[in-house]
Chains A and B, each alone.
Chain A
Amino acid sequence: MNDILSPATDWELGSMLASLSEEKTSVEILGAGSKRLMGRPPKADYRLTTSVMRGIPLYEATELVMSARAGTPVSQVEIELAARGQMLAFEPTDLGPMFGQAAGIQTIGAVFATNQSGSRRISAGAARDHLLGVKAVNGRGELFKSGGRVMKNVTGYDVARGLCGSWGTLAVITEATFKVLPVPEDVVTLVFAGLPDDLAVEMMCAAMGTPYEVSGAAHLPASTVLRLEHDSLSRAGQALTALRIENFPKSVAYRKTKLSDALSAYGTPFELDLENSLNFWGELRRVSVMPAGSTNIWRISTAPMQAPKIVYGIARHMDVRVYYDWSGGLIWLETPESADAGAADVRRAVAIHGGHATLIRADRAVRDSVEVFQPLSPVAERLTRELKAAFDSHGILNPGRMYADV
């Protein structure tokens, strides 16, 4: 049970999975293991990590493209990119800290396998939108590739993107090729204080509907603001709603004025300069306001304007902490300890108002007993099972990690 396989090459991984498949022996797939405590507890005979498969075989800054081996830590990818003034525009969320781990250890393969996208998702797209191609090994032990290194590619089905969000249940990504973007020259954050959730979301949606290219829109109610690490912000004592603008300096100066004018009905914002902006959005990337602990954490994805209704619907039944990202489209919600982590109420609110909910953190016993991922419609469930069989005929990869029997 303690055996950890750590293949160094695609070929080695392929032969390992081929023989495991032949023996019908299951295996839990890990990068750095930062998200191991998330999801349905896997029940596997072996563990396998991609962490030895590291390195950056291709980085063509003028073509905005990089390829990295799956086990490369995101922090290393970002150091390489920063040296050429570039970045992962989708700002992958780092869930490590909420599970008591160091920040920055997660691997690039896992970022795509779980489609981790942070605040800039709202303007730049999700992790899956930046993925151009993969090399991978499926549960049959077959090495395959999909997509490529060019920005536009519709040759064959989009299998690479299809692996995003499959949590290692279909294939093990060994190398990802993805689009990167220049780091903006300047950043400013406009912060509105004291708005109730529904007005804040309305304001963020209005901001997103302006031509000023807001690249982050998050709202923290007062009870969550308290938890910010940022000293002066955490002492604000009231709700904060933040809008990020990024571009060259003259443009940022122009846009912040226009945006404040357009939103004047919601109050007069104060400003975070470049450094403070980086700190604040960096905290959101680490989900710092939901620190390590024993409470339950949900991640709810919905139409932005529905978000406050979902939160009110749940808060009627229990004491919650919450913050909104993606102008409301993403809700991070903390619920108190309970037998089902609040699943019944969370799922009901989501069923009424639309969207889907994933239980990110809970006791093992809870994750064993409630659905962690959003239950699927019967047709989607059938396709999900059949896709699983198409990639992994003996069901050896992360069995039960997302859904029972998948």
Chain B
Amino acid sequence: MTSIELPEPDKSILRRRDAIVADLEAMFSPDQVISDEVGRRAFETDALTAYRRLPLAVVLPETTKEVADILRYCHESNIKVVARGAGTSLCGGALPAEDAIVVGVSKMNRVLEIDYPNRTARVETGVTNLAISNAVAEEGFFYAPDPSSQLACTLAGNLAMNSGGAHCLKYGVTTNNVLGLKIVLMTGEILDVGGKALDSEGFDLLALAVGSEGQFGIITEATVRIIRAAEAARPMMIGFDSAAKAGLCVSHIIASGIIPVAIEFMDKPAIEVCEAFAKAGYPLDAEALLIIEVEGSEDEISERLAQISEIAGELKPTTMVVSSGPEQSERIWRGRKSAFGAIGRLSDYYCMDGTIPLVHLPFALERIAEICSSYGLKVANIFHAGDGNLHPLIMYDVSKPEEAEKAEQAGAEILKLCVEVGGCLSGEHGVGIEKRDLMHAQFDKKDLAVQTRIKSVFDPKWLLNPAKVFPLDCREDPSVKPASTGEAA
């Protein structure tokens, strides 16, 4: 998979490499600057491993001021910067460039303040997603967005990608759970947005910054909402003999006024792989499996699951199993959460992330199967059904370049399909380099211009996370300066 064009590195920067490294070493302590090749190798890719680029150098700041120092330096010296959390991005969002410095926030991982009465936590963004929930667990609270990568991924990456997770159906995604940010701009200026208040003042800069894929600034601190956990939660499994029925079941549940905390979908190939791996007790005879979780007290849960069973029952499921207790619940979720890993043991895979309107689910699944088989590839589907966010896993052999190429082509067709049926290219993984060139499928020129002008406001020289998100020809001619404000009326 190497068909995505990456720009030629700026030779003048490469020539200055030694001088730049010397400058960095003067600014930071030795353990904060990585310039040797072996050290830099660790940062050459993210979870889209087919693309690799050795960065010019890596800097690991420990304070917001240090982040400001390095960004100001890069701004003045016209050096590109790629921000990095844990490097688990699936879209090449954290892919470095040879003429760019990677600024990693992994050393900034402290929980700064937990405020239970106001239900907020203030953290440095290098903290892992799960560490936030762990820090507040003893009081029964948690941080809601739960990407499957939560053990490793950082809040910084979550903020940049507006990450989601299985429980977002009820609790929302990252942008719905953040109240304040500290962002260092390329100029070294520090922007504080929001705080503990529920609304932020003025334009919603928070909304723009979350999901900006590291292109506006480096986020060093965040104030997030923490939520009191429900008394208990319990999943049930419902198997069907067709994906269409599973899709209908989801629609019927939602139409009845019930919003479960999570509704996850797996197709037969996924069920088989996960069952073999995790022994979760999944029904091997089902074509499609729903895992539906509800929360509340024991009585509330029982009542809700009974209602759901009744709705599902009308569709003649092949299996219907309510978890009998914590041990079985754990197994059911373990199967789902280990899905990527389980498939990864069988085959290399390419994980897609489009979203579709749920009404088109049966059609979309059929088309996905057709598209993949036309390339001679196998596909497994696992996804968040409550919100239509598909994750087809296209299996291929990484050692065969032509197969990799095919996987990439099949993936692009699938994403275009998602847009055609009224959905979008990415539900939670972001655009990065991976979907950059597909942006024209979803947006016209003006839509993109509106976005790239915002980019130019935050980062006029386009130094932050270059060659990501927008097709390479998208940047408006910078000589066409926007008129200055205040000249009219």
Which residues from chain A sit less than 8 Å from chain B, CB to CB? 24-26, 43-45, 60-65, 85, 115, 117, 121-122, 125-126, 128-129, 138, 142-146, 148-159, 161-166, 170, 181-183, 185, 202, 205-206, 208-211, 213, 247-248, 250-251, 254, 258, 301-306, 326, 329-330, 354-356, 358, 373-374, 376-377, 379-380, 383-391, 393-396, 399-400, 402-403, 405-406
Fill in one digit per residue for B226-269: 1 if any A CB lies within 8 Å of its CB, else 0.
00111100000000000000000001101101110000000000
Task: Say whether B446 contacts A376, CB under 8 Å.
Answer: no
A303-B303 in contact given A157-B208, A162-B203, A379-B189 (Cβ < 8 Å) = no
Partner of A159 from the list B255, B386, B451 (CB cut-off 8 Å) is: B451
Residues of B within 8 A of A383 (CB): 191, 203, 205, 457-458
B207 touches A162 (CB 8 A): yes
By CB atoms of chain B within 10 A, which of A144, A156, A405 has the most? A156
Interfacial chain A residues near B191, Cβ < 8 Å = 377, 379-380, 383
List, in ascending order, chain B residues with CB within 8 A of A385's CB.
485
Does chain A have a CB within 8 A of B168?
A: yes
Q: Using known A-B contacts A205-B118, A405-B485, determine if residue A122 contacts B450 with beta carbons closer than 8 Å.
A: no
A-B CB pair tally, cutoff 8 Å: 293
- One of B44-52, B98-106, B169-177 contacting the partner: B169-177
Residues of A within 8 A of B251 (CB): 62-63
Given contacts A158-B211, A374-B201, contact A150 B442 (CB under 8 A): no
Name the contact of B303 in the complex, choosing from A128, A248, A388, A396 (C-beta under 8 A): A248
Q: Show 11 residue pairs from A and B whose CB-CB distance is below 8 angstroms, ordered by the A residue.
A: A145-B447, A149-B422, A157-B454, A162-B203, A162-B204, A182-B258, A258-B297, A301-B199, A373-B201, A373-B202, A383-B457
Interface residues of B (CB under 8 A from A): 115-120, 140-141, 161-162, 164, 168-169, 172-173, 175-176, 185, 189-193, 195-205, 207-208, 210-212, 228-231, 251-252, 254-255, 257-259, 296-297, 299-300, 303-304, 355-359, 384, 386-389, 422-431, 435, 439, 442-444, 446-451, 453-458, 469, 482-489
Please name 5 further chain A to chain B contacts, defined as beta carbons within 8 Å, in addition to the given A122-B198, A144-B449, A354-B197, sorted by A numbering: A115-B199, A117-B199, A152-B164, A155-B425, A162-B204
Q: How far is the CA of A185 from the CA of B161 in the complex (A)?
A: 36
Q: Is the CB of A356 within 8 A of B487?
A: no
B246 to chain A, nearest CB (A): 14
Known: A152-B355, A158-B208, A250-B300. A376 touches B469 (CB 8 A): no
Q: Is the CB of B426 within 8 A of A155?
A: yes
Known: A151-B355, A206-B117. A156 touches B198 (CB 8 A): no
Question: Are B488 and A394 touching (Cβ within 8 A)?
Answer: yes
Asked if A154 and B161 sit within 8 Å, CB to CB, the answer is yes
Known: A254-B300, A305-B117. A44 touches B202 (CB 8 A): no
Listed residue (A143, A150, A209) with the most chain B CB atoms within 10 angstroms of its CB: A150
Taking CB atoms, residues of chain B closer than 8 Å to A162 are 203-205, 207-208, 454
Choice from A144, A170, A248, A356 contacting B447 with Cβ under 8 Å: A144
- CB contacts (< 8 Å) of A60 on chain B: these are 357, 359
Whether B489 and A154, one on each chain, are in contact in the complex, defined by CB atoms closer than 8 angstroms, is no
Return the chain A residue nearest B296 by Cβ: A251
The contact of B427 among A153, A166, A373, by CB within 8 Å, is A153
From the candidates B300, B431, B446, B456, name the one contacting A142 in the complex (CB within 8 A). Answer: B446
Output the residue of B212, B444, B488 with the most chain A CB within 10 A. B488
| Contact (Cβ within 8 A) B296 A126 | no
Q: Are A150 and B488 within 8 A (Cβ)?
A: no
Contacts of B297 in A (CB 8 A): 251, 254, 258
Most A Cβ at <10 Å: residue of B169, B198, B456: B198
Nearest CB of chain A from residue B48's CB, rounded to whole Å:
15
Are the C-beta atoms of A395 and B424 separated by less than 8 Å?
Answer: no
- Asked if A144 meets B423 with Cβ closer than 8 Å, knowing A150-B388, A151-B355, A158-B207, the reply is no
